[in-house]
Chain A
Amino acid sequence: SAVISQKPSRDICQRGTSLTIQCQVDSQVTMMFWYRQQPGQSLTLIATANQGSEATYESGFVIDKFPISRPNLTFSTLTVSNMSPEDSSIYLCSTRQGVDEQYFGPGTRLTVT
């Protein structure tokens, strides 16, 4: 399985600011995904990031709030913009191997004060 790393691992940010989360994969992958996991909750897909095309956002998530970059086949960033305390969550990057096996990074724990 691919090894996925994320930076930062955690951060505490003030409301109104933005944070960019980086995701690095140790091999080239077509599809990368960004999830949000609110405290004690399940995983919610934010968007799918394919290299060379615009990210596809799920219902309830918009590009202005969560802009995503995918400059190459091993790297992606997610920005959480104009943050509010409701954005406090774990943000997870994932990739798929083969047809359907999905692997996750360690997550970025964001607290907005």
Chain B
Amino acid sequence: GENVEQHPSTLSVQEGDSAVIKCTYSDSASNYFPWYKQELGKGPQLIIDIRSNVGEKKDQRIAVTLNKTAKHFSLHITETQPEDSAVYFCAAYSARAGTYKYIFGTGTRLKVLA
């Protein structure tokens, strides 16, 4: 079945450095790719998303890129801060034949070291 692979599972960076998390999806019908940040004890928060008609999207220190041919999309966080420490989930969404499926990646635990 469809799946989304996410790497790495854990990532430690020094404050101020950049962090990159990568996802690969299998369903070619996927057309929407959100990223969620989940802090300890909280629900996932939508932080950025990208649709299949766009190759890159940026919002302040975070950006997402999409390569439809390779079925890859990535989250880039620049100038990381301790408050960026959290678990990040990617997801791929597709709508086919009246069903609407979100497939989530397995998560990346990001630690920003002060």
Chain A residues with Cβ below 8 Å from B44 are: 43, 92, 104
Task: Please tell me if A42 contacts chain B, counting CB pairs below 8 Å.
Answer: yes
> By the criterion CB–CB under 8 Å, are A100 and B42 in contact?
no
Number of A-B contacts (CB under 8 A): 42
We find that the number of chain A residues with CB closer than 8 angstroms to chain B is: 19
> By the criterion CB–CB under 8 Å, are B95 and A42 in contact?
no
Q: How far is the CA of A41 from the CA of B100 in the complex (A)?
A: 22
> By the criterion CB–CB under 8 Å, are A42 and B104 in contact?
yes
Q: How far is the CA of A42 from the CA of B102 in the complex (A)?
A: 12
Please provide the 8 A-B residue pairs with the shortest distance between their CB atoms, ordered closest to farther.
Answer: A104-B43, A106-B43, A100-B32, A107-B43, A104-B44, A42-B104, A43-B104, A42-B106
Q: Other CB < 8 Å A-B pairs besides A4-B43, A99-B32, A102-B102, 15 of them?
A: A1-B46, A42-B89, A43-B89, A45-B102, A100-B32, A100-B93, A101-B34, A102-B46, A102-B91, A102-B93, A104-B43, A104-B44, A105-B43, A106-B42, A109-B41
